[in-house]
């Protein structure tokens, strides 16, 4: 297989941000923050992202850079080099399973975005497809799966890089544009206070757990996909600075999305803890300001959100296809078709059998599975003495990273997981 690498650090930053900024920030963040106290949850999210999420993102990408291969072989390689127990190699296999588990629910959430696009388009052309809601949701999920596969099988430069170079900045601009149009609404000040006023009386284990889980989900850490992206790096110059920029972009995306969603929520007397459907209720209301072109405005916004959602789902599917290509010698196309076949069945289960599964599954992923996997990566990094390979030359930064990875991250993750017992 031809060795691939990022064309530039800008593409790398956009790819990392694309893996995170999408359904993680625009879809999951508002309903997670709204369900866990508003300002206190956002405050915890920002603090935990910089203190816990960023160091783990950094070590995952550094692992990928050092190994230059897929997740499973990369963990094996690091284990052998450090003469560590072969049991540590299970992290690679567990990450593979977790990636697919997240992807299986993610395509349903991404399908909801396509459903919004199709629904608005049918209204514009005054066409009734005669498809009930559940069937349309299922078809939309399959379309989203197919788009993810199409981009993932394309070489790095023509696939992921092209996708993120234009569409990620466009999504950010659309969020700013929508927010600017909402700034004079009655709910804006209330939303601003709800999001940025910190009431420590609301601080509890649930808000802490939700904030940390959201941090891993929005940074796309804990499942190995960032390790996979790091393996496409051909140099590690200014790596921590690059990762810090990506983290800040994600935080800004969360704040923008929260302000938009909560402004409409309070303006329309909607509960901020309404759940996963919150964005699909509030965004169409927000875009009514573009009357009589609000249907086209909906289509444009959700197309941008779709592009961001696909860059996120790519970061889940592409590592799986790379594993089959490099380790099992099965082509990306064949492995992608197999993945699509399995997703056909998992999507049906989510959509037809329990409409509340999306919220439940997202909670399990964010608050249990991703923190547990992240703990495995942190402990493994300590075991193989990854800190000795850190590229940072600044002694203060080295000490801060060492403290975070050796003590702060594992203790926080153990505390979080222990709180669920």
Q: What are 72-96's pLDDT values in tens digits?
A: 888 998 888 888 888 888 888 888 8
Contact 115, 27 (CB under 8 A): no
Query: Mean pLDDT, to the nearest integer, of 13-34?
Result: 73
Contact 321, 153 (CB under 8 A): yes
Whether 1 has a pLDDT exceeding 50, the answer reads no
**C-alpha span between 32 and 270 (Å, rounded):** 15
Could you tell me the domains of the chain? 9-418 (1.20.1740.10)
Query: Mean pLDDT, to the nearest integer, of 160-189?
Result: 77
Dump pLDDT digits (tens) for 315-341.
888 888 888 888 888 887 888 888 888
Whether 220 has a pLDDT exceeding 90, the answer reads no
* Lowest-confidence segment of 81-85, 101-105, 229-233, 282-286 by average pLDDT: 282-286
**C-alpha span between 51 and 216 (Å, rounded):** 12
pLDDT band at 394 (very low <50, low <70, confident <90, very high): low
pLDDT confidence of residue 400 = 83
pLDDT confidence of residue 185 = 79
Contact 182, 286 (CB under 8 A): yes
Q: What share of the chain is helix, strand, coil (3-state, %, to 5)?
A: 80, 0, 20
118-126 CB contacts, 8 Å cutoff, 24+ apart: 120/295, 120/296, 120/298, 120/299, 120/302, 121/299, 123/295, 124/295, 124/296, 124/299
Terminal alpha carbon distance of the chain: 45
pLDDT band at 159 (very low <50, low <70, confident <90, very high): low
pLDDT band at 101 (very low <50, low <70, confident <90, very high): confident
Q: For the chain, what is the mean pLDDT? A: 81
| Alpha helical stretches, state H, 197-238 | 205-219, 225-230
Which three-class secondary structure state does DSSP give residue 119? helix
pLDDT confidence of residue 208 = 84
| Alpha helical stretches, state H, 153-203 | 160-182, 187-196
Query: Mean pLDDT, to the nearest integer, of 235-251?
Result: 79
Whether 403 has a pLDDT exceeding 90, the answer reads no
Other CB atoms within 10 Å distance of the CB of residue 363: 15
pLDDT confidence of residue 45 = 92
Query: Mean pLDDT, to the nearest integer, of 255-275?
Result: 79
Listed in sequence order, the residues at least 6 apart from 17 whose beta carbon sits closer than 8 Å to its beta carbon are: 164, 168, 246, 249, 250, 253
Tell the residue number behind the tokens 């790379």, with chain if given. Answer: 322
Dump pLDDT digits (tens) for 276-287.
666 777 778 777
**C-alpha span between 291 and 140 (Å, rounded):** 26
Query: Mean pLDDT, to the nearest integer, of 338-361?
Result: 78
Which three-class secondary structure state does DSSP give residue 354? coil
pLDDT band at 237 (very low <50, low <70, confident <90, very high): low
**Could you tell me the two tokens for 73?**
């072989």
pLDDT confidence of residue 84 = 84
Query: Mean pLDDT, to the nearest integer, of 218-234?
Result: 80
**C-alpha span between 214 and 247 (Å, rounded):** 13
Query: Mean pLDDT, to the nearest integer, of 383-406?
Result: 76
**Distance from the Cα of residue 180 to its chain's centroid:** 25
**C-alpha span between 379 and 81 (Å, rounded):** 16
pTM of the model: 0.83
């Amino acid at each position: 297989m031809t060795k691939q690498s990022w064309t530039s650090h800008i593409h790398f930053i956009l790819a990392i941000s694309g893996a995170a900024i999408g359904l993680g920030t625009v879809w999951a963040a508002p309903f997670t923050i709204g369900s866990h106290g508003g300002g206190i949850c956002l405050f915890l999210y920002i603090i935990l992202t910089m203190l816990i999420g960023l160091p783990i993102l950094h070590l995952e990408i550094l692992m990928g850079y050092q190994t230059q291969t897929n997740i499973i072989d990369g963990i094996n390689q690091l284990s052998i080099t450090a003469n560590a127990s072969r049991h540590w190699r299970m992290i690679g296999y567990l990450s593979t399973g977790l990636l697919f588990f997240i992807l299986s629910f993610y395509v349903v959430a991404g399908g909801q975005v396509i459903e919004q696009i199709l629904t608005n388009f049918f209204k514009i052309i005054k066409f009734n497809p005669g498809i009930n809601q559940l069937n349309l949701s299922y078809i939309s999920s399959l379309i989203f799966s197919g788009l993810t596969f199409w981009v993932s099988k394309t070489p790095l430069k023509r696939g992921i890089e092209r996708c993120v170079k234009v569409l990620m900045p466009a999504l950010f601009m659309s969020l700013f544009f929508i927010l600017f149009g909402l700034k004079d609404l009655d709910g804006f000040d209330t939303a601003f206070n709800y999001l940025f006023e910190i009431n420590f009386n609301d601080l509890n284990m649930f808000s802490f757990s939700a904030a940390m889980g959201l941090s891993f989900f929005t940074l796309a850490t804990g499942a190995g996909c960032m390790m996979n992206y790091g393996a496409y790096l051909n140099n590690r110059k200014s790596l921590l600075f690059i990762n810090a920029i990506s983290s800040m972009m994600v935080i800004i995306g969360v704040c923008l999305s929260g302000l938009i969603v909560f402004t409409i929520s309070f303006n329309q007397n909607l509960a901020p803890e309404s759940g996963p459907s919150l964005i699909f209720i509030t965004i169409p209301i927000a875009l009514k300001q573009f009357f009589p072109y609000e249907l086209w405005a909906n289509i444009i916004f959700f197309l941008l959100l779709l592009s961001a959602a696909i860059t996120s789902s790519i970061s889940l599917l592409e590592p799986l296809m790379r594993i089959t290509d490099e380790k099992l010698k099965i082509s990306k196309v064949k492995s992608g078709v197999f993945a699509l076949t399995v997703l056909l069945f998992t999507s049906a289960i989510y959509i037809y059998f329990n409409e509340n599964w999306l919220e439940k599954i997202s909670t399990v992923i964010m608050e249990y599975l991703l923190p547990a996997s992240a703990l495995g990566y942190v402990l493994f990094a300590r075991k193989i003495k990854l800190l000795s390979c850190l590229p940072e030359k600044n002694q203060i930064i080295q000490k801060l990273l060492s403290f975070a990875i050796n003590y702060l991250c594992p203790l926080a993750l153990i505390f979080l997981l222990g709180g669920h017992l």
